[in-house]
Amino acid sequence: MEILNAFLVLANFVLIPAITYGSQLALGALGVTMIYGILRFSNFAHGDSMAVGTMVAILLTWWFQSMGITAGPLPTALLALPFAIVVTIGVLLGTDRLVFRFYRRQKAKPIILVMASLGVMFVYNGLVRFVLGPDEHRFADGDRFIISVPDFKALTGLPEGVAIRTTQGITVITAVIVVAALFWFLGRTRTGKSMRAYSDNEDLALLSGINPERVVMYTWMIVAGLITIAGVLYGLDKSFKPFTYFQLLLPIFASAIVGGLGSPLGAIAGGFIIAFSEVTITYAWKRVLTYALPDELAPSGLVQLLSTDYKFAVSFMILVIVLLFRPTGIFRGKSV
Amino acid sequence: MSNGGNPYRDDRGNKDRSITNPHGSGEIPLRDSGKTSRVEGESPFLIGENMTGGYGRNGPDILHDCTIAVNPGEIAVIVGPNGAGKSTAMKAVFGMLDMREGRVLLDGEDISALSPQDRVAKGMGFVPQTNNIFTSLTVEENLEMGAFIRHDDISDTMEQVYDLFPILKEKRHQAAGELSGGQRQQVAVGRSLMTRPKVLMLDEPTAGVSPIVMDELFDRIIEVARTGLPVLMVEQNARQALGIADRGFVLVQGRNGHTGTGKELLADPEVRASFLGG
């Protein structure tokens, strides 16, 4: 019974939040890895592109709410999501046209594109703060819980409860659907294969009649979809704040690199590794250990390895360790 | 490859692969195609005529008044000592070079202004010397990508390629990068055949393969040429290549040194002395 209680506490405070956060990171890291594989640079504007996508979704959500349109028990933001994706696609394609295409035509070295993306990052960052301000916004509505702690306790009669928030359920389900669709697209469709071919060998793709500009366009469209979904899910689950989204860049990059840059499977694995590390290292284990250990061994302190303020240090440490000992990442991506 | 004076092509020593990915990046410049025009009079099916030019707008000339041609059913071979401009001549025909003078005619049409990718659409199949397969894609996906510009049913062509190279059928679900050197070359040739090209251009198809595999590859190339497809290839192994060639072009320092049928060139004492080794 004690062990079951320990597991319930663990599930409630570690497993479910980490799976949710991992799904969000995985979606973000998939975008990073696709740009790295196909456009061949690390997009520093990724976090702020997420913020732009989420901002559009928030504005649409408010507009829908003002017209009295809601999704019932689900967050209204889910209704706004498809439209937000379309707008974000427009923003990213416009940016590509204005900024990145020039360097592509010059056959610029990837490092030049990295620096250009840094500039784009500042512009997006400013744009979001200009429109929504630097403050925190909560835009989740609808039912808060799929199952709440009191419900769970009443249902099972157990002393400890597990809560699953609506946003957590939506995050995981959406992530699974999106990832499955992406893998199907890359592995089975003609366009998806042409993107892999272009990533593998640009010149030969050109000689095979694959239009590079088209491949790049599809990449930005997919990335826009991924980041808007990831950003909205993260914002629903926690809250939206421009600076937080900029900071998300680090765990997202860490996920992509840990899994192996250029490897979609690696991005997903990396996302969960980073999420679980962050949550387990910053979680206070006292309650779990009190249940799991015999009474005489029960800890008196909080048993928290790091304060949550240091959660970014966790991804940074993992990043350093991976780059030192296995630079290609778990799934042998393309970085060396 | 030098940065050609373009500051954007200078990475200033940055090789950090955690933010930049040089894997698979291309060197063929993207450019827009100009217009093509019909040309009156008799000319070979594919001819690069009086080509003069080099890499980059300001680069030195590598080719000087060089002419390469091939007709249906023929195998034309470009041979010559190292640095003679063999590959460059082929790249010039394919539009990967900035030509100052000369023109390229395909089937009576002047295609000099077309970009390489538009020449593929016009029916030129090109197999580069290196990096000529998609290593991370399966053999079958490689062939599918070869047929990317086609929108009709490609299964017949794929069967033909598998008939020509039976080993590929066996390994069709394997990643092409896992194959041996000779098999990779078969994938490369097979990929270019998938477009059903009007002319096939091979840049040193036997580079780095064993003599036995080389003979087999030559046999396959002859088989392809017998179907009526003109084959233009650059070869390092001059003697064997001239042995199967209907036309041979010996280049010397970017110029046409000797031209004739393969047999004539093999018998020419000057050619023998200068670079076939007696």
Which residue among A114, A200, A206 places its CB closest to the CB of B137?
A: A200
Q: What is the spatial distance between Cα A109 and Cα A101, in angstroms, rounded to a whole number?
A: 13
Q: Tell me what the mean pLDDT of segment A241-265 comes to.
A: 94
Residue A133: inside a domain, yes or no? yes
Q: Which residue has the higher pLDDT, A143 or B1?
A: A143
**Backbone torsions φ then ψ of B78, nearest 5 degrees:** -105, 120
Entry pTM: 0.92
pLDDT of residue B273: 83
Instruction: Give the percent of chain B with pLDDT over 90.
Output: 65
Nearest neighbour of B149 by CB, restricted to A40, A106, A209: A209
Residues A140-184 have pLDDT tens digits of 998 899 999 999 999 988 888 899 999 999 999 999 999 999 999
Which of B175-195 are b and which e, b meaning 16 or more Cβ less than 10 Å from the residue's Cβ? bbeebeebbbbbbbbbbbbbb
The band of A334, judged by pLDDT with boundaries at 50, 70 and 90, is: low
Helix (H) or strand (E) holding B50: strand B46-54
Residue B125: its pLDDT value, please?
Answer: 93
CA distance B182 to chain A (A): 18
Distance, in Å, from the CA atom of B242 to the CA atom of B272, rounded to the nearest integer, reads 12
pLDDT digits 0-9 by tens, B143-158: 999 999 999 999 999 9
**Cα–Cα distance, A317 to A313 (Å, whole number):** 6
Which neighbouring-strand residues pair with B231? B75, B200
User: A335: Cβ–Cβ under 8 A, 6 or more apart, which residues?
Assistant: A257, A260, A261, A262, A327, A328, A329, B17, B18, B21
The per-residue pLDDT for B226 is 92
For the ranges A46-55, A89-98, A149-158, the lowest mean pLDDT is seen at: A149-158
Query: Which of B9, B22, B121 shows the shortest C-beta gap to A209?
Result: B121
Q: Provide the CA A124 distance to its chain's centre, in angstroms.
A: 18
ipTM over 0.85: yes
| Residue A76, in any domain of the structure | yes
Confidence grade of residue A335 (pLDDT, cut at 50, 70, 90): very low
Contact A55, A131 (CB under 8 A): yes
CATH number of B45-123+198-278: 3.40.50.300
A237 within domain boundaries: yes
Evaluate whether residue A336 is within a structural domain: no
Give Cα A58 to chain centroid, integer Å.
Answer: 17
Distance between CA atoms of residues B38 and B3, nearest Å: 36
How large is the average pLDDT for residues A56-62?
Answer: 97
Interface check B195 vs A, CB under 8 A: yes
Q: Please report the residues numbered 113 through 132 in chain A whose beta carbons come closer than 8 angstroms to any beta carbon of chain B.
A: 114
Distance CA B186, CA B164 (A): 9
Q: Taking 60 as the threshold, does the pLDDT of residue B33 lie above it? A: yes
Q: Give residue A93's pLDDT band: very low, low, confident or very high (50, 70, 90).
A: very high
Number of A–B residue contacts, CB under 8 Å: 143
Asked if the Cβ–Cβ distance from B21 to A190 is below 8 Å, we say no
Q: Where in chain B is the domain with CATH 3.40.50.300?
A: 45-123+198-278
Residue B74: the pLDDT is 93
Q: How confident is the model at residue A313 (pLDDT cuts 50, 70, 90)?
A: very high
Structure tokens given for A170: 């939506």
CATH number at residue A92: 1.10.3470
Rounded Cα distance between B98 and B105, Å, is 16
In a domain, A26, yes or no: yes
A331 part of a folded domain: no
pLDDT in tens, B225-278: 999 999 999 998 888 899 999 999 999 999 999 999 999 999 998 888 877 765
**Which positions 127-146 of B are in contact with A (Cβ < 8 Å)?**
128, 131-137, 141, 144-146
Full residue range of the structural domain in which residue A303 is found:
2-325
In the predicted model, what is the mean pLDDT of residues A195-218? Answer: 93
Residue A333 lies in a domain: no
What total of structural domains would you count in chain A? 1
> How confident is the model at residue B1, as a pLDDT?
45
The answer, yes or no, to whether residue A11 has pLDDT greater than 50, is yes
Closest-CA distance of chain A to residue B170, Å:
21
Q: Can you give the pLDDT at residue B50?
A: 94
Task: Give A280-308 pLDDT, tens digit per residue.
Answer: 999 999 999 999 888 888 888 899 999 98
Which has more confidence, A77 or B6? A77
Judge: A197–B134 Cβ closer than 8 Å, yes or no.
Answer: yes
- Computed over its alpha carbons, how large is the radius of gyration of chain A? 21
